[in-house]
Each structure stands twice: as structure tokens, then as C-alpha cells.
């Protein structure tokens, strides 16, 4: 029994006419007759009552028509999905990212993917340990956006953009773009920042920045979530240092003061990646970032 024979049966069950069915299927009537007879012989069930003038489904034929119709439709759907996956237009892709791109680059990226690859399912993860390299090598993520280049022989890393980091303060704060020459002036300020003891790239950047300006910050709250930090700064519980991308969050009662230091955004993926879908996503990322940088 083949799916082709079942499809012949379903078409005949709808038309109830051998000649019309054969014409619709673009096969000879004799070939249709042989396939139906072979199907009945194999399953040991008479599917049609027929004479020279009429063709009628048996009760068993009615039952199989109802159930095989659903099965064949599901098989066709599965086959179509498999084709899309093979072509790289469907499937599942896991993506890890830093929270700082959630308000700027990430929405543009998701919009482009939704438009161009509508059958693709994405899983988004914001890891707190920032170990994107291990996530990639352990196949727990397929594409990693992060703030530093991953230097590993098994990983491709491409720089997408750079942006300044900023002091983030409440609107009524005394700081402005002209009022600070050295961060050591902030020795009495309350900071809301990532834990400086961590091994993440951003924590390392902050340590180097504070060491450069001989400042030991008075940290009152530690958090790795930029959205939470912005909200706390807006409530005037302290000040922070964040990538300028967080401006796009449009949080009320905060202002951003750019510093000289910059932070970059990289996309990382496994070398020799066989998944065509992942390759297509990477290409869209490159196009989006070119547009984004030229905007």
C-alpha cells in the first residue's frame, strides 16, 4: 500500500466515477483500476461497490475515506514543512542576546525575520552568565549576539556595530554633558550596576573604567537586567552606566550622558553550520545591521 494508492482511492471516493477520476489524476483508467484493485487485495477490504453504471463506497470505504483524508493531509503538511526546512525557510532557531539590544536592534531583527521567514520559530534567551561560547558549543543556542568577540576555532564571530556607553541619571541630577571631567567626581553617588565581581564582559568593562578614573563606586544595588536598572534610576534610587542602546527604551525621567568608551555588538555562530535556516538568519542579520548603521 502506497500513499499514491491512497490518494487515488480518495479522489475516486470523491468523484465516484472511474473515467472522471482517471482524467483528473492524468492517468489511464486501466491504471487507476489496477491500483484500486491492488489496494483492496492488500488490505483485504472491498472499498467500492461497482457495476457498469455506478460506483459506490462500501461502509468500510466510507470509514477509510474519512480517516485517510486526515492522515494524507497531515502527511502533505509534514512533507511541506520538511521542504521548507531543507530550503532554510522554516524550522527552529535558538538565539541568545544581551538585554541592551532588546530595545533597538532586536525588534528590527525580529520584524525582518517575521516578514521574510514567517514559518520560522525563534527561541530567545537572555543568559545571565554571559557565557555565549559554551551555549554555542553545547548546542544550547544556535546564534549568539554578545558584546565581545568569541575567539574559538569552532566559532565564527562578526562585529556588527559599536556604540558609546553612557552615564544614566535622573533628569533632575546635577550631571550633564559638560559638568563632569572625571568619573572620580562620582565618588559620593549611589550606583546601580552589574556586580563587578562577575566574569561577564560588561562587568570587566566597568572595572577597567573605574580603575582608569581611580573610582571605587558606592554600589547600592546590583542587577544584570538593564530594564530593571533604568526603572530604578528613574525612581531616583541611584545612577548607572549602560550601553546607549537603552535610550530606545524611552524610560521616563532618565537622561543619558555619553562617555568616551565604546562597546561593540557581535554575532557568533558555529563554523561549518549545516543548518540552512541558521545561515539564512545570519544573512538577514547582516542586512539589518547595515541598514541600521546607515539610518
74 and 192 fall within a common domain: no
97 and 148 fall within a common domain: yes
193 and 126 fall within a common domain: no
The answer to whether the beta carbons of residues 52 and 69 sit under 8 Å apart is no
Which of 42, 63, 87 is at the close of a domain? 87
71 and 216 fall within a common domain: no
Q: What is the DSSP letter of 28?
A: -
Residues paired with 275 in a beta bridge: none
270 and 259 fall within a common domain: no
92 CB neighbour count, 10 Å cutoff: 13
11 and 81 fall within a common domain: yes
* Predicted model pTM: 0.66
The answer to whether the beta carbons of residues 158 and 290 sit under 8 Å apart is no
Which pLDDT does position 251 carry in this prediction? Answer: 94
183 and 258 fall within a common domain: yes
142 and 272 fall within a common domain: yes
The answer to whether the beta carbons of residues 70 and 216 sit under 8 Å apart is no
54 and 101 fall within a common domain: no
Question: Cα dist. 198→110, 128, 141, 145, 217 in Å?
Answer: 30, 10, 22, 19, 15
Return the C-alpha cell found at 128.
Answer: 545571565
Q: What is the DSSP letter of 182?
A: -
Which pLDDT does position 134 carry in this prediction? Answer: 86
Strand, helix or coil at 7?
helix
**Of how many residues is the chain composed?**
295
150 and 174 fall within a common domain: no
Which pLDDT does position 44 carry in this prediction? Answer: 93
Distance, in Å, from the CA atom of 205 to the CA atom of 279, rounded to the nearest integer, reads 31
Structural domain that includes position 196: 163-263
46 and 94 fall within a common domain: no
Strand, helix or coil at 102?
coil
The answer to whether the beta carbons of residues 180 and 169 sit under 8 Å apart is no
Q: How many domains does the chain have?
A: 3
Which pLDDT does position 90 carry in this prediction? Answer: 60
> Residue 282: which CATH number?
3.40.190.10
- Phi, psi values for residue 5, rounded to 5°: -65, -40
Which of 34, 56, 87 is at the close of a domain? 87
111 and 177 fall within a common domain: no
Stretches where the chain sits below pLDDT 50 are: 295
Which of 68, 87, 106 is at the close of a domain? 87
Which pLDDT does position 85 carry in this prediction? Answer: 65
Which pLDDT does position 75 carry in this prediction? Answer: 86
Strand, helix or coil at 158?
strand
Place of cell 580603575: 211
Contacts of 59 (CB under 8 A, 6+ apart): none
> Residue 28: which CATH number?
1.10.10.10
Amino acid at each position: 500500500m502506497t500513499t499514491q494508492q491512497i490518494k487515488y482511492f480518495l479522489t475516486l471516493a470523491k468523484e465516484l466515477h472511474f473515467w472522471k477520476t482517471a482524467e483528473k489524476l492524468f492517468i489511464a483508467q486501466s491504471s487507476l483500476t489496477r491500483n484500486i484493485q491492488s489496494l483492496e487485495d492488500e488490505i483485504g477490504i472491498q472499498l467500492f461497490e461497482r457495476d457498469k453504471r455506478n460506483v459506490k463506497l462500501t461502509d468500510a470505504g466510507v470509514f477509510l475515506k474519512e480517516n485517510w483524508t486526515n492522515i494524507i493531509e497531515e502527511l502533505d503538511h509534514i512533507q511541506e514543512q520538511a521542504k521548507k526546512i531543507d530550503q532554510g525557510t522554516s524550522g527552529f532557531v535558538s538565539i541568545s542576546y544581551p538585554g541592551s539590544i532588546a530595545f533597538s536592534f532586536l525588534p528590527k531583527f525580529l520584524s525582518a525575520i517575521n516578514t521574510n521567514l514567517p514559518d520560522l520559530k525563534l527561541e530567545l534567551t537572555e543568559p545571565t552568565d554571559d557565557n555565549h561560547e559554551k551555549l554555542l558549543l553545547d548546542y544550547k543556542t544556535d546564534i549568539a549576539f554578545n558584546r565581545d568577540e568569541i575567539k574559538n576555532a569552532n566559532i565564527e564571530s562578526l562585529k556588527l556595530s559599536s556604540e558609546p556607553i553612557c552615564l544614566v541619571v535622573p533628569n533632575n541630577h546635577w550631571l550633564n554633558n559638560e559638568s563632569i571631567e572625571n568619573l572620580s567626581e562620582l565618588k559620593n553617588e549611589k550606583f546601580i550596576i552589574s556586580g563587578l565581581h562577575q566574569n561577564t564582559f560588561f562587568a570587566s568593562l566597568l572595572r577597567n573604567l573605574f580603575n582608569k578614573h581611580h573610582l571605587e563606586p558606592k554600589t547600592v544595588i546590583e542587577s544584570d537586567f538593564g530594564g530593571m536598572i533604568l526603572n530604578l534610576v528613574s525612581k531616583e534610587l541611584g545612577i548607572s552606566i549602560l550601553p546607549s542602546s537603552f535610550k530606545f527604551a524611552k524610560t521616563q525621567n532618565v537622561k543619558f550622558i555619553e562617555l568616551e568608551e565604546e562597546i561593540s555588538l557581535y554575532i557568533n555562530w558555529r563554523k561549518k553550520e549545516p543548518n540552512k535556516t541558521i545561515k539564512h538568519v545570519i544573512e538577514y542579520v547582516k542586512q539589518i545591521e547595515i541598514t541600521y548603521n546607515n539610518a
